[in-house]
Chains A and B, each alone.
Chain A
């Protein structure tokens, strides 16, 4: 792999930029791999990357039914933060944030990580109490810098905000200065390029149709390009987790629903932090192109169509207009949906499964982009060693049976 650098750009300029090599290879599948990862979203690719980087396992294939990064990873609104209430969440999301900080250098690929600061507005007294509790929890955890700020400070950070709206007054905010955004495609592409460079095969346009097991242990997968054997299998398919788990013969506490997002026409810089408003289920940031990137809560019913109902985004905007009056006359340009995998406690699953040598990483629901590096790190450790490390242990799929929920919904509402 030729490294990207300022010198490379200069050199390429001499030859009219005709000499850039492809960022990743497009290989035909081999007969067998040490590890197969199903799903080339951010979490699947990051898992493969840290398998190679941290554990020296490089005979790996990542099998993707569409194109890499074309699932939720390429559809999300890219909010990154780590100030979660529960200890196990805070640990893994903060691991991810730490890795995001050095990711562009690590991957030699600009993922455009932008730690511009993140506000979670409190617009009810219930939320004020909830966020104060989070601040205290984060202080006790001792790793995450987060603070409670009052309405005046909120107004100073976001001058376009109307803080004394009659229905949704801004009573303060939970503020994480290190939070922000990154370029979603670049995260997938950067990991893909690095994986391919380590000799891993990313096999796109190939759907996994079945999982072959022998005596309760995984042997390989049936795909649209035929049977491919493997010693270990990692299932990292977000919305389709239930389907692939079914192929392997076990059930999951996961349901698939649509989550939508939309962007406005591009405008001049108006907001340089990320704002989440969970009472009204709306969040907003401004992209480098000037578009306001807006998301809301999930649609209500099980759905695999990657599109949602119009009244949901209408409700999101209606509520946001009170807090951001200037958006009332903006034209919205594009709208889309992704299929998110929601678990019973709204926390992810990184776990062994009832099938031997078969591991699953799913349930990131509406908030897994921010976790990609940390999740890949923890999942790689689980796949390599066969046992979860400290980051993954609490996220096992048996926690539901035991009642050991990692309940983030109290702190984050629905979307986090």
Chain B
């Protein structure tokens, strides 16, 4: 059972309390953007076997969206952080790098 700590209310929520929202930090391309950018934004996903940054919603708790770093090959959770960030926090990236020296980085 997956357990993620909600960075807003501090609750250690288990999976049934949460909804998964897919890859995090997608840069949005709207009308008028290049076809490649729009296609990538809409459909292409990193889908890594390993470190993955993703969106979650604390649906049956405070209701807010937050972000998590998780390993899709072992289900290890590296950490969670608020959604108002353009990229994963530096200390979290350093922590992941220490645990996974092979990780190519964000």
A302 to B56, CA, bound (A): 12
Structural contact, A253 and B45, CB atoms closer than 8 A: yes
For window 41-94 of chain B, which residues contact chain A by CB distance below 8 Å?
42-49, 52, 54, 70, 72-75
Known contacts A309-B2, A310-B1, A311-B16; decide if A240 and B42 are in contact (CB<8 Å). Answer: no
Question: Does B102 reach chain A (CB closer than 8 Å)?
Answer: no
Q: Interface majority SS on A: helix, strand, loop or mixed?
A: mixed
Contacts of B42 in A (CB 8 A): 344, 400
Name A256's closest neighbour in chain B (CB-CB): B47
Structural contact, B44 and A253, CB atoms closer than 8 A: yes
For window 288-321 of chain A, which residues contact chain B by CB distance below 8 Å?
300-305, 309-311
For window 77-101 of chain A, which residues contact chain B by CB distance below 8 Å?
none
A303 to B74, CA, bound (A): 8
For window 224-264 of chain A, which residues contact chain B by CB distance below 8 Å?
240, 242-243, 251-256
Minimum Cβ distance to chain A for residue B22 (Å): 7
Structural contact, A304 and B43, CB atoms closer than 8 A: no
> Which residue in A300, A303, A400 is a CB contact (below 8 Å) of B43?
A400
Interface string of B1-32 (1 = CB under 8 A from A): 11000000000000110011010000000000
Question: Does A401 reach chain B (CB closer than 8 Å)?
Answer: yes
Contacts of A240 in B (CB 8 A): 49
> Which residue in A255, A256, A400 is a CB contact (below 8 Å) of B22?
A255
The size of the chain B interface, using a CB distance under 8 A, is 25
Name B68's closest neighbour in chain A (CB-CB): A301
Contacts of A310 in B (CB 8 A): 1
Contacts of B16 in A (CB 8 A): 311
Tell me how many residue pairs across A and B have CB atoms closer than 8 Å: 57
Contacts of B40 in A (CB 8 A): 251
A253 to B46, CA, bound (A): 9
Minimum Cβ distance to chain B for residue A260 (Å): 14
Contacts of B1 in A (CB 8 A): 309-311
Contacts of B22 in A (CB 8 A): 255, 302
Minimum Cβ distance to chain B for residue A208 (Å): 14
Contacts of B46 in A (CB 8 A): 242
Known contacts A302-B52, A305-B73; decide if A255 and B20 are in contact (CB<8 Å). Answer: no
Name B36's closest neighbour in chain A (CB-CB): A401
Contacts of A401 in B (CB 8 A): 35, 39, 43
Contacts of A300 in B (CB 8 A): 15, 19-20
Specify which of B22, B35, B39 lies most central, judged by the most chain A CB atoms within 10 Å of its CB.
B39
Minimum Cβ distance to chain A for residue B50 (Å): 9
> Which residue in B15, B47, B52, B73 is a CB contact (below 8 Å) of A254?
B47
The size of the chain A interface, using a CB distance under 8 A, is 21
Contacts of A305 in B (CB 8 A): 72-75
Minimum Cβ distance to chain B for residue A255 (Å): 5
> Which residue in B15, B44, B52, B75 is a CB contact (below 8 Å) of A251?
B44
Structural contact, B74 and A301, CB atoms closer than 8 A: no
Structural contact, B47 and A301, CB atoms closer than 8 A: no
Contacts of B43 in A (CB 8 A): 253, 344, 400-401
A239 to B74, CA, bound (A): 15
Contacts of A252 in B (CB 8 A): 44, 47
A253 to B56, CA, bound (A): 20
Minimum Cβ distance to chain A for residue B2 (Å): 7
A310 to B16, CA, bound (A): 10
A309 to B14, CA, bound (A): 11
Contacts of B35 in A (CB 8 A): 401
Structural contact, B47 and A255, CB atoms closer than 8 A: yes
Structural contact, A302 and B54, CB atoms closer than 8 A: yes
Interface string of A390-408 (1 = CB under 8 A from B): 0000000000110000000
Structural contact, A304 and B49, CB atoms closer than 8 A: yes
Known contacts A310-B1, A400-B39; decide if A256 and B44 are in contact (CB<8 Å). Answer: no
A344 to B23, CA, bound (A): 13
Q: What are 29 pairs between A and B in contact, CB < 8 Å?
A: A240-B49, A242-B48, A252-B47, A253-B43, A253-B44, A253-B45, A255-B45, A255-B47, A256-B47, A256-B72, A300-B15, A300-B19, A301-B2, A301-B54, A302-B47, A303-B72, A304-B49, A304-B73, A305-B72, A305-B74, A305-B75, A309-B2, A309-B15, A310-B1, A311-B1, A311-B15, A344-B42, A344-B43, A400-B42
Q: Which 9 A-B pairs have the closest CB atoms?
A: A253-B43, A301-B20, A242-B47, A300-B20, A401-B39, A400-B43, A251-B44, A344-B43, A304-B49
